[in-house]
Amino acid sequence: MPRSIRGLSLGVAITSGLIIALLGLATYRFVHEEIECQINQRIRTEADALLAHHRHHGFAALVDLVNTLDNHATPEDVSYLEGADSKGRGMGYIVTDASGRRRAGSLVANVPPPGWSEFVPFHSPDGGPAMAQAINAPLPGGGRLVVAADRAVVDQMDLKLLALFLSAFALILAVGTAAVIGLGRLVRGRLSSIEGSAEAIMAGDLSRRMPLDGSAEEFDRLAMILNGMLDRIQTLMNNLKQVSSDIAHDLRTPLNRLRGRLEESERTSTEPIQQERLAAAIREADDLLDLFSSILAISEIEGQTVRSRFQSVELHDVIEEIAEAFRPAFEQAGRSLMLAIVPVAICGDRQLIQRCLVNLLDNALAHTPPGTDVTISTEARDGQMALTIADNGPGIVDGDCERIFQRFARLDHSRSTSGYGLGLNMVAAIAAAHGGNARVVPAAVGLTVEILLPTASNSTSKAPG
C-alpha cells in the first residue's frame, strides 16, 4: 500500500491504466469474435443457398449460378451477396465435379479440406496474397462446393479497433493521470500548509493555527478540529503561566515586607547565632524574590510587550561586553572563553540580549567541569544571525534537548545544584520575542546551543506580530 501522495497517485494511475487495458483487450476480443461469427454466418447462409439451388436445379444450374456470381451479377435468389466491394473482396467460390475437376469458381486457391477452414490462403484479383475462411461442403452425387469469404474485413476492423483503443487509452490515461496528479498536488499543498503551521507551533509560536480555505470540506473540518484543540491547549498553558505569574506577583509584596522585617531584626539582634540565622533567612528570601522576578520577566517577554522597546543593536558589541565581564570568572573556575564573531546589527532589546548571554554563560559555568572550553560565535545565514554558544563539556542526552528550554526544567533530578530551571526558558522566550528561536544543535562532544535571530533588515518580516 503506497505511503505517500506521490506513491498513491502513481498507484492509481497504473491501476487505472491496467483496468483500461484489460477492458480494451476484452472489447477487442469480443468484437473480433463477433465479426468472425458474422462472416461464418454469411458463409453458411451462402453455402446453404447454393446447396438448395443444386438440389432443385442440378449440378449444371449450380455451375451457371456460381459463374454468374463471379461475374458480380446479383440474381434475386442470391440477393444476400449484394454489397461485395468493387475489388472483389467478398465471397469466393470453387465447384468441382465427382472426379475433382474444377467446373466453376474464380477463387484462386487450393481446395481446402472438407468442413470449416479458418485460414485459407488465396490470391486476390489484384494479384496480392490474401487470407479467407471457407467451408468445403459435399454435393449430392459427387463433387465439392467451396464458399469462402475474404478475411480482409476482419484484419481491417482489427486495425481500426487497435487504433481506436490506443487513442482512447492514451486519452483516458492522460486525463486520468492529470486528474490524479492534480489531486495529489492539491492534497500535498494542503498537507504542506498544515505541516508548516505545525512546525511553527512546535518552534514555539502557539498563536499559529491550521489554514482554512472556507470550503468546509474534509481538510477544513480537520483543520477546524485541530485549531479547536490548539485553542484549548493554549488556553490551558496561558492559565498555567498566568497562575505562576499571579502567584509570583502576589507573593512578592509580602515577601519584601518579610525581608524588611528580617533585616530590621538582624540589625537589632545582639546574639551572633541569631544574626547568622537571620542572614541565612534573608538570603533565602532574596532567592525567592529572584525566582519571582524571573517568572514575571518571562511572562512579560512572552507577552511580546517588550517589542515596543526594540531598536538597532550591535550584536558583536554586546557579546564582547558580556564576554569581558565573564572572562575573570571563567579563568578563576579553570575554564576558557573564546570568541569567533562578525559585526552585525539586529533589531531588539539590548538588555534582553545581555540577559540571554548571561544565562547561557552562567549555565556553562555551572554545568561544565574545569578545563572546559566555551566558544561564542556568530554566523550570517539567509537573512538571520546564528548566535552559538558551544562547549566541550559532558553535554546532555538527546532526549533532553527540547526539555531544557521548558519552564522549571532541571536535568539534575536530585536538585543538588543551584537554580530553578528558568535560565534557558528565558533564553527561548527572548529568542522568540525577537522573531527567532533557540535550539540544541547535535554535536560530537559537549553542548551547543544555537539562537537564530533576524538581522535588522529582516526583523520586521521574521518576527511574530
Q: Is 9 exposed, middle or buried (0-12, 13-18, 19+ CB in 10 A)?
A: buried
For the chain, what is the radius of gyration of the CA atoms?
48
CATH assignment of 218-302, given 3.30.565.10, 1.10.1060.10, 3.40.50.1000, 1.10.287.130?
1.10.287.130
Cell numbers placing 285: 528570601
The percent of residues above 90 in pLDDT, for the chain, comes to 16
Tens digit of each residue's pLDDT (9 = 90 or more) over 288-303: 777 777 777 777 777 6
Residues counted in the chain: 465
pLDDT score at 254: 84
Q: Could you tell me the fold of the domain covering 308-462?
A: Heat Shock Protein 90 (3.30.565)
pLDDT score at 417: 56
pLDDT at residue 70 greater than cutoff 90: no
pLDDT score at 75: 38
Residue 187 vs residue 135, higher pLDDT: 135
pLDDT score at 17: 76
The percent of residues above 70 in pLDDT, for the chain, comes to 86
Q: What distance in Å separates the CA atoms of residue 375 and residue 448, rounded to the nearest whole number? A: 9
Tell me the CA distances in angstroms from 436 to 92, 116, 325, 350, one per residue in order: 91, 88, 26, 15
| φ/ψ of residue 97, rounded to 5 | -85, -170
Tens digit of each residue's pLDDT (9 = 90 or more) over 155-196: 787 888 888 888 887 887 788 778 777 877 877 787 888 888
pLDDT at residue 1 greater than cutoff 60: no
In this predicted structure, which of 83-92, 419-428, 450-459 has the lowest mean pLDDT?
A: 83-92
Instruction: 164-173: list long-range contacts, CB under 8 Å, 24+ apart.
Output: 165/24, 165/27, 165/28, 168/20, 168/24, 169/17, 169/20, 169/21, 169/24, 172/16, 172/20, 173/13, 173/16, 173/17, 173/20
pLDDT score at 27: 83
pTM for the whole thing? 0.48
Query: Could you give the angle at the alpha carbon of 199 between the alpha carbons of 197 and 202, nearest 5°?
Result: 110
pLDDT score at 416: 47
Residue 2 vs residue 406, higher pLDDT: 406
pLDDT score at 354: 92
Domain-wise residue ranges, the chain? 5-159, 218-302, 308-462
Query: Could you give the angle at the alpha carbon of 284 between the alpha carbons of 280 and 285, nearest 5°?
Result: 115
Q: Average pLDDT, whole number, for the chain?
A: 80
pLDDT at residue 414 greater than cutoff 60: no
The two domains 5-159 and 308-462 share their CATH topology (first three levels equal): no
Give mean pLDDT, residues 441-446: 86
Sheet holding 144-150, edge to edge: 102-104, 91-96, 144-150, 129-138, 115-123
Residue 195 vs residue 83, higher pLDDT: 195
User: pLDDT class for 318, splitting at 50, 70, 90?
Assistant: very high
pLDDT at residue 84 greater than cutoff 70: no
Residues 6+ apart with CB under 8 A from 98: 141, 142, 143
Sheet holding 373-381, edge to edge: 336-340, 373-381, 384-391, 448-454, 437-440
DSSP state of 2: -
Residue 13, number of CB atoms within 10 A of its CB: 18
pLDDT at residue 4 greater than cutoff 80: no
DSSP state of 78: G
pLDDT score at 147: 92
Give mean pLDDT, residues 420-426: 80
pLDDT score at 81: 33
pLDDT score at 357: 92
pLDDT at residue 383 greater than cutoff 80: no
CA dihedral (69, 74, 80, 86) positive or negative: positive
Q: Which range has the top average pLDDT, 32-46, 76-90, 177-191, 237-251?
A: 32-46
Give mean pLDDT, residues 205-216: 78
Amino acid at 422: L
Tens digit of each residue's pLDDT (9 = 90 or more) over 339-365: 999 988 888 888 889 989 999 999 899
Helices (H), 341-422: 350-367
pLDDT at residue 3 greater than cutoff 80: no
The C-alpha cell 493555527 sits at 209
Query: Could you give the angle at the alpha carbon of 85 between the alpha carbons of 153 and 95, nearest 5°?
Result: 85
Q: What distance in Å separates the CA atoms of residue 428 and residue 432, rounded to the nearest whole number? A: 6
pLDDT score at 78: 33
Q: Check: CATH 1.10.10 for 5-159? A: no
Give mean pLDDT, residues 401-405: 81
Residue 329 vs residue 36, higher pLDDT: 329
